[in-house]
Homo-oligomer: A and B are copies of this chain.
Amino acid sequence: MIEQGAQPQRTDVNTLGEFGLIEHLTRRFPLLNASSVVGIGDDAAVIDNGNFKTVVSTDMLLEGIHFDLMYTPLKHLGYKAVVVNLSDIYAMNAQPKQITVSLALSNRFSVEALEELYEGIYAACEHYGVDLVGGDTSSSTKGLVISVTAIGQGETDKLAYRSGAKVGDLICISGNVGAAYLGLQLLEREKQIYLSSPGVSPDLEEEAYCVGRQLKPEARKDIIDLIAKTQLVPTAMIDISDGVASELFHLCRASGVGAFLEESGVPIHPDAQLLALKFKLDPITCALSGGEDYELLFTIDPADIEKVKYLPDIYIAGEITAASEGVKLHTKGGNIHPLKAQGWVHFDPNKG
């Protein structure tokens, strides 16, 4: 029998972090096929199909890690599992066309529960015009696992990679950020209250906006359609799943540049502002480090400013600088300090 624990060296995965880990594990994989244009390291992989490019993205959601069924309706979960992947395809300035959905579930789920989940998957497919073309279903010893792969199409000269930002480019953010994170804080608090006194029914209506951003996010297809209409091609783009700060670092690193981010340019919804204050949290910290907004962070050539200036829901939040400048935040108070990336939730050392 194999002694899995008997390795001479044991490096904890936390020492590398998620992205370090992926890089470490995949660094020696070459791309063998001419059609493999972009591999690991962007929002999606890019495959050359002659007239256009096929864009592929995949995400896995696990119960107890990415979602809590105590406050996540299964229909919303199905919807979100799809949206999260579509967001990666849009972040390449491409259009998703197909998805595959793999499920693993314990026998605690009934057919009716799965029907609810698929209601949500269906609603997302319908809303975004995407086809469910395949998948795999199996049992799990514990909990629900959903793995979605999205496949899209993009025009060769219009794909937006993380690596295209140039010094002087303007940093744009679609929509507001931080609300999804605050919605999650609220749901977690209400869950704790419910667990200690099950009779108390939570009233989340007042916080419908933030809760909605957490439970039913949308991918910004509308932004991709809008910028196509104005013939704008972002120089670089990434979707905001782990927080603005973390994503900006990814983009800067891939492009070999720095950034100067204006706090005043980072849009926060008034409801998120208020909820942050209720939780005694700094709204801008929530906006920069809270995840799951699924907005788009992109850079544009300054010559294109007229194209975005009058578009709804696009905010100019800073400028790309030289790599030597680092990634800096200019606060409303007038201070300039290095931005910190705290987007990723680390592996929980208490779980075995």
Binding site for B on A (CB under 8 A): 1-2, 4, 7, 9-16, 18, 21-22, 24-26, 28-33, 35-36, 38-40, 44-45, 47, 49-52, 54, 56-60, 62-66, 69-74, 97-98, 100, 102-115, 118, 122, 125, 129-143, 145, 147, 149, 151, 153, 190-191, 194, 202, 345, 347-349, 351-352
Shortest A110–chain B CB gap in Å is 4
CB neighbours (8 Å) of A202 from chain B are 1
Q: Are A98 and B129 in contact (CB under 8 A)?
A: no
Bound Cα distance A108, B350 (Å): 10
Number of copies: 2
Q: Are B40 and A135 in contact (CB under 8 A)?
A: yes
Given A9-B112, A15-B111, A111-B13: A56 touches B98 (CB 8 Å cut-off):
yes
Q: Are A70 and B40 in contact (CB under 8 A)?
A: no
Q: Are B1 and A112 in contact (CB under 8 A)?
A: no
Q: Are A134 and B45 in contact (CB under 8 A)?
A: yes
Shortest A264–chain B CB gap in Å is 34
Bound Cα distance A142, B142 (Å): 8
CB neighbours (8 Å) of A133 from chain B are 31, 36, 38-40, 45, 47, 56
Shortest A123–chain B CB gap in Å is 11
Given A54-B49, A149-B149: A131 touches B21 (CB 8 Å cut-off):
no
Q: Are A65 and B138 in contact (CB under 8 A)?
A: yes
Q: Are A137 and B22 in contact (CB under 8 A)?
A: yes
Q: Are A60 and B348 in contact (CB under 8 A)?
A: no
Q: Which residue of B lies closest to A100 (CB)?
A: B58
Bound Cα distance A21, B114 (Å): 9
Given A58-B100, A58-B134, A98-B56: A2 touches B65 (CB 8 Å cut-off):
no
Q: Which residue of B lies closest to A39 (CB)?
A: B133
Q: Which residue of B lies closest to A133 (CB)?
A: B45
Q: Which residue of B lies closest to A61 (CB)?
A: B138
